[in-house]
Amino acid sequence: MNDPFMNLKSSMKKSIFKDLSFSNERKSAVKEAIRTNQQSQFDNWNSETIIAILESVQHESKDGYNISIQLFQKNEHTFQKNEGQLYTLLHLLENKEILTSNWINKKKYYSLNSKGKKYLATYKEDISKQKISLEHLIEEASL
């Protein structure tokens, strides 16, 4: 069967959008709008939320769904209306090498690695010092 949309993207680039371009000013405005939107999403995260996530995977690997259930049981409602933000934060923590992940039976399980264990231990020893470090992590996520 012949798909009429098969070459649509290529054809549009060659004809309709051939001369379309955006000024650097417009590109900057779009990037700023995206960053502002992301910043408002990241403002919901706080040190206690990150620590609650780290504690939830401290002793055993868990998938995002089970992490969210455990957070809810601890009265951590940050992700209640927007569960997708939990996965954004989990990916950030993974990219910062605080969490590691493994795929098992089509589910991604997160666990605490040595850097994450250090974060958690330091937080419990010196809350003020670790809180600053976690706030820096949150700020970095919004860039």
**pTM greater than the 0.85 cutoff:** no
The predicted structure's pLDDT at residue 16: 72
Helix (H, G, I), strand (E, B) or coil at 3: coil
The predicted structure's pLDDT at residue 27: 81
Give me the average pLDDT of each 10-residue run along the chain (143 residues): 67 74 83 67 68 91 93 84 85 88 94 88 66 60 50
Distant-in-sequence, close-in-space partners of 105: CB < 8 Å, separation ≥ 6: none
The predicted structure's pLDDT at residue 108: 95
Q: Which domains does the chain have, with CATH numbers?
A: 31-142 (1.10.10.10)
Q: Whole-angstrom Cα distance, residue 130 to residue 47?
A: 9
